[in-house]
Amino acid sequence: MKLNYKKTILVGFAFFLISSFWQAYDTIVPLILKHKFGMSDGSSGIIMSLDNIFAVFLLPIFGNLSDRLKTRYGRRTPFILFGTLVAVAAFSALGFASTLPLFIGLLLLSLLAMATFRSPAVALMPDVTVKPLRSKGNAVINLMGTAGGMIVLILATVFKTSEEGKTDFSAYMITVAAIMVAALVVFLLTVRENKWAAEMEADTEKYHLDAESEQRTTGGKLSREQFISLLFILASVALWFIGYNAVTSKYSVYATDIIGVSYSTTLLLANAAAVVTYIPVGIIASKIGRKKSVLAGVAILAVAFFGASFIERGTSVIVMDIFFVLAGIGWATINVNSFPMVVELASSGDVGKYTGFYYTASMAAQVVTPILSGYLMDIFGMREVFFPYATVFVVLSFITMCFVRHGDSKPAVSASKLEAFADND
């Protein structure tokens, strides 16, 4: 059984433009809020959580809506098109906002637009990929997303966004918006959503690849055991995002103000480590299973954050780079396998809804963590809270993940059928 890498890469351009936006958002918005508008860590944490507040309510809604939409262009593509165009316009204007109310208004518009198409865009990969290949497919999608993030980080270096006292990021933000538009154009010109989804459905039925869905109770609902596993998967997702997002949403400030290093260089290395990890991890997961792969990734991420908590100003930048390379490897391993575990439990008609469940868990966590970690930093100090806080929640996610019993990959399925499937690929 082989993954069609060309199709998956083309589908991945939707995630490429999403990741480009969020990388710019996570690194630039905290700097603008603190350096241009003079906000405290706690207050800026509230602003940084707005996207996640929107997402908690809107991602399941738009994921579910896209399940039910039928157009000549597909179920997901219309959301991706219109959401991207609005987000690009608002984000481009954001850099020119001279007052805080105007800035917040444009920020809300761009975040609302992103929320309308994030679940549909992510649901598109499982729409066109049979279940046993979704870890590999998700590896490619995440690779595309990381590529978008790395390009944005390189641009951050070119535009000197980490320069002390800098408050004008308009040229940088317009350039990011242009990259998003370019990715959208490639996606629209190459992806044939309806045709590819129909091919996936035919292969799934022909080779009986919908094992988890076939185990559902009468009426199409999850069995009790499957439902409990789903809850534990979502709890794990929430916990590791609480830890991880506390770092990503404030690292540009932490690196600049606390330890005096360039945030863009460190994050580039983390993304580079993720890039070389995605494909091998997808292959490994198809052999040892998704759950074991996720647990390994969580352990690596916990070690990275714990080690980074001992770094001080004056410590060799190489040490921080090493820990962020480990973080990139750990996070890539988690991301490749956790989302497929959730949609493994979905039937073909509700992939968007289950994608919404995944994002409800991750975004609810990201609503809480910028505010909670921000106020803890105000009370105890950023240096004392930043990495220890992240470490604790990542360790907790390891514990909850141990209780998951469903959603894993099923590599040993009818060898003769898989060989026939491979021959037809």
- Type of residue numbered 73: Y
Matching residue, tokens 């199409």: 220
pLDDT score of 338 more than 60: yes
- Please report how many Cα atoms fall inside a 13 Å half-sphere around the Cα of residue 295, on the Cβ side: 12
Reduce the DSSP state of residue 233 to 3 states and report it: helix
8-state DSSP, 310: T
User: Residue 35 CB: number of other CB atoms within 10 A?
Assistant: 16
pLDDT at 411: 52
Residue of 326, 232, 333, 353 whose CA lies nearest to 290: 333
CA dihedral 128, 225, 365, 304 (to 10 degrees): -80
Name the average pLDDT for the chain: 86
pLDDT the model gives residue 416: 44
CATH number for the domain including 211?
Answer: 1.20.1250.20
CA atoms of 346 and 69, how far apart (whole Å) = 17
Q: How many CB atoms lie within 10 A of CB 314?
A: 7
Structure letter (DSSP) for residue 409:
-
What CA–CA distance (Å, rounded) separates 164 from 220?
57
Q: What contacts 173, CB < 8 A, 6 or more positions away?
A: 24, 28, 91, 92, 94, 95
User: Is 321 among the domain residues?
Assistant: yes
Is residue 408 situated within a structural domain?
A: yes
* CA torsion through residues 281, 335, 61, 408, sign: positive
**Residue 92 belongs to a domain:** yes
Residue ranges making up the domain that contains 210: 5-198+205-419
The pLDDT tens digits of the residues spanning 29-41 come to 888 888 888 887 7
Give the confidence band of 167 by pLDDT, cuts at 50, 70, 90: confident
Give a yes or no: residue 424 inside a domain: no
- DSSP letter at 220? S
**What are the residues whose beta carbons fall under 8 Å from the beta carbon of 275, sequence distance 6 or more?**
143, 146, 147, 150
User: By percentage, how much of the chain surpasses pLDDT 90?
Assistant: 47
Q: How far is CA 122 from CA 200, 234, 312, in A?
A: 16, 16, 38
Query: What local confidence, expressed as pLDDT, does residue 211 receive?
Result: 55
In this prediction the pTM is 0.77
pLDDT digits (tens, 9 = 90+) for 267-278: 888 888 988 998
- pLDDT for 23 beyond 80: yes
Buried/exposed 251-276: b ≥16 CB within 10 Å, e otherwise? bbbbbbbbbebbbbbbbbbbbbbbbe
Domain count, the chain: 1
Residue 143 token pair: 């690779």
DSSP state of 283: H
> Which residues 6+ apart lie within 8 Å of 40 measured at CB?
374, 378
Reading the block at residue 90, the tokens are 């608002």
CB-based contacts of 328, cutoff 8 Å, min separation 6: 269, 270, 271, 272, 273, 274, 277
**425 inside domain:** no
- Range 242-247 average pLDDT: 92
